[in-house]
Structure 1
């Protein structure tokens, strides 16, 4: 089968032929890919930023946002059948550790993360397990929802956390309305009655955010902090969700936060540097976010089936991976890039 393989860091992965994965264990599942999302994490992987975190051995196949159809199942699989359309939770978990038993399977102590530390879905087929699969409603096509497997799941996960803290009339700032942010706006709109302020340097991203339910649009033109403070009566927002995490967004996000507010870190690449006296004197909170649980993904698919969360996608053929990667790297992708074998 075909697969996009990373052979060496800081070089463009290549489309090549590899052996097909097989369901050898009782709970193993092989999925035929219908769509696989390409995101900035893939760029960071190619650049070597995940080299120490993942511990993966090169070469391997990228692709951690996957959806398709069940191709082969192990002898003990009962929740899906061959041919079922499915989306894959990005982490194949054990179900036995303390985290899994608590429903916090993101932090499974014996997990596999295809596309990060194992072969992923930029291929015709990908291996996972039965615990990772959410069956899709008939109205959902794998290529249309694939990026919800990680980008959407991460955005929903942080929106779900923030929604618990937000009351009607309060304010939440979304920094970055791109590939993750435009999903986060929709998730926040579905989960909370708080007013949503979107900050982005792209006019196109702001226009998209407006159609998805943003209440206030703020161009990131150097005046964004003041604009947010004006919208919040000078006090700052109760929550800031930062989908950028670099290039000044971190400093802006902290400055937009009110006393006892919560700053949710999603994007990464920058450095959070805040005097500890500022943290304790205002009792602000900093909260990290990494994908989400299986339950989060199931809930997100329910919203997608109802049309309350949709993806803006740009499809590419699997063989066009180098062009897709270059388009993403140079900001030419509006929404999410999807590889379709």
Structure 2
């Protein structure tokens, strides 16, 4: 089968032929419908050798959906042809957090690295994907798995960041979304679906701001000098009760701090490598800062329900598997709108 493989650090992936895996006890083989292309892949590719405990080569793609092809011995209650989403944060399965489905914050994460398909282990950018346990599957019901792939990361990460702060988003509150890419565009849609907050979206690209507006953002602002003052003006000087930074670079983190409200929260989601100083005068009083990672299995189930209710719909651009390298180049250059999804089977 064809697979998009990371074969060397600081280089583009290659499309290679690899054997179709055979599911063992408790495992499930998925015929991949869609695999999302994530900016965090670029961060991994750009790292020098030795910083991550990943053995090369491996197949990329930590955001995957598909249909059950075959199940291994001991797997029950799953049938061939059933459409499923693959939960991507593979924890130890034994600690207290994993027992609650919060495998994104596994207590033994340092001992479980590589931590998932596409993250050191073979992922979904292939015609077939081996899922090591049926517990990582979530049924999609009537959703088209080709379009649902972004739910497993772009949607889930955004949902996790918003859900934990819904208590802040009361009538009259404001949520600020920095970066309207694969995750940010879903955050805008989720904020409008789940809260009464006024939503402000910031990006440097006009097409992404247009998308944010179509998804319901109340205000869209270009990411230029002085934009923090515009946020203050739009909020009557208060600032935003929840700031979601989906970029995480030095400039965007500074904007997040400048745009946050007293008693608010800055949620850092993007992996841009910036730093946010915390101290007196650095942030408004009683403003919390959180560094978030992915979401839980129960949250993925909730998100799938929202999608099945047509309350949210990921905006996707689809490409054949053979165009993976070009799609990554477009992602690096900011020439994608919404989420790019590779379709191994068309």
Which residues of structure 2 form unaligned runs of 5+? none
Whole-angstrom CA distance in 2 between matches of 1:50 and 1:133: 32
Task: Name 1:243's counterpart in structure 2.
Answer: 246
2:75 to 74, 77, 80: 77
1:135 to 132, 139, 162: 139
1:189 to 184, 192, 195: 192
1:231 aligns with 2:227: no
Which portions of structure 1, spanning 4 or more consecutive aligned residues, are displaced by more than 4 angstroms? none
Whole-angstrom CA distance in 1 between matches of 2:48 and 2:191: 30
TM-score by length of 1: 0.94
Task: Name 1:34's counterpart in structure 2.
Answer: 33
- Structure 1 counterpart SS, 2:85: strand
Whole-angstrom CA distance in 2 between matches of 1:198 and 1:151: 16
- Structure 2 counterpart SS, 1:190: helix
- How far did residue 190 of structure 1 move? 1.7
- Structure 2 counterpart SS, 1:278: coil
TM-score by length of 2: 0.93
Task: Name 2:298's counterpart in structure 1.
Answer: 295
Whole-angstrom CA distance in 1 between matches of 2:49 and 2:338: 23
Whole-angstrom CA distance in 2 between matches of 1:308 and 1:261: 26
Whole-angstrom CA distance in 1 between matches of 2:276 and 2:341: 35
Q: Cα distance 1:79–1:279, how it changes in 2: closer, same or farther (>3 A)?
A: farther
Whole-angstrom CA distance in 2 between matches of 1:97 and 1:275: 31
1:267 to 264, 267, 270: 270
Q: Cα distance 1:51–1:285, how it changes in 2: closer, same or farther (>3 A)?
A: farther
How many residue pairs align between the two structures? 338
Task: Name 2:14's counterpart in structure 1.
Answer: 14
Q: Is the 8 A contact 1:250 1:270 kept in 2?
A: no
- Structure 2 counterpart SS, 1:36: strand
2:314 to 311, 314, 323: 311
- How far did residue 279 of structure 1 move? 5.8
Q: Is the 8 A contact 1:250 1:272 kept in 2?
A: yes
Task: Name 2:99's counterpart in structure 1.
Answer: 101
- Structure 2 counterpart SS, 1:76: coil
List per-residue Cα deviations over 1:255-290 (Å, max 9, x = no partner): 001112100001122322325223687121111111
Q: Cα distance 1:183–1:32, how it changes in 2: closer, same or farther (>3 A)?
A: same
The RMSD of aligned alpha carbons is: 1.8
Q: Is the 8 A contact 1:79 1:130 kept in 2?
A: no
List per-residue Cα deviations over 1:219-272 (Å, max 9, x = no partner): 212121011000111121111111111151100110001112100001122322
Q: Is the 8 A contact 1:160 1:188 kept in 2?
A: no
